[in-house]
Structure 1
Amino acid sequence: MLIGPPGSGKSTVGTLLAQRLGTSFRDTDADVEAVAGKPVSDIFVDDGEERFRELEAEAVRRALDEHAGVLSLGGGAILSEATQSLLAGHPVVYLQVGLADAVQRVGLASARPLLVLNPRSRLKQLMDERRPIYERLASLIVATDGRTPEDITDEIVKGLTA
């Protein structure tokens, strides 16, 4: 299970990690989009954040029931107490990223719905608010700043097999 803020590398590293472990990769944001029939940004605009969070919590629950491979959770999925409970007992890797790297990776002109107004400030706020939850849920914390996805994947594989 990979958790972390936008720009931490969950999708990129998750894909590499799944390949390395010889398993499949699944992203709960993609699951939400498939169920809703539209991109996450459109769900926020059309249906609101509350509806998105409901779909997200259900996507995480379903993925944990159905998927035995590497799972990437959306950055805010950990806000749900039900999701936090479901993660107990699973290996959870928190991909830790600093603001500068996150901004560079996400881009300030992205279509991420929670970063529309003053994206750099909002991203910092989200990261600060969520950091304690990420840290509490993690069985392994991996810093990603200035590192290649391959290097990060190597550290995760070592950490999971130690």
Structure 2
Amino acid sequence: MALAFSEPRIVSRGPYRVVGAWCAYDGDDEGPGWDGAYQALLPRLCTISGRCDDLMLGFLYRPSKDDPVAPVGMRACFVGVEVAASAAMPEKLAETRFSGGDYVLVDCIGDTPEEAAEGVGQAIDMLTEWMPANGYREGDACFAASQVGAPKPPWIETVYIKLERA
């Protein structure tokens, strides 16, 4: 099976609280950022309580949004999980929030995790065209998520983009 995409679908949901780890990167190569964020999160994943589901979220991140000490222009990759609003904050991890509302989703379906992950950029490009054609513009959130416990293959990365009416 080659890389495939689902049709866009819209879901409504409340706000997200995400706990995880981030890693800064330089230039245009996000690879070290993703690797560093995963390596920082995985040994601490078992310390996170109050998880809402088995989704692992990944997104490009501006640390200064949540950390006033971080330089404003710093870019990073963030990997984390959604937790309940009342969940304790584990040491050495970071927290951010996404607003609630309508999100458009597209699944990137591949035979390998690498193939599904490679589809994320294409799905974002596809949704960038889909949104204005359907009366929307991008809101304040864009991330990819995968179900950790789902049987594989296929591997699925789901792209979420917050919608605002155009």
TM-score by length of 2: 0.28
Higher strand share: 2
Larger Rg: 2
TM-score by length of 1: 0.29
Higher helix share: 1
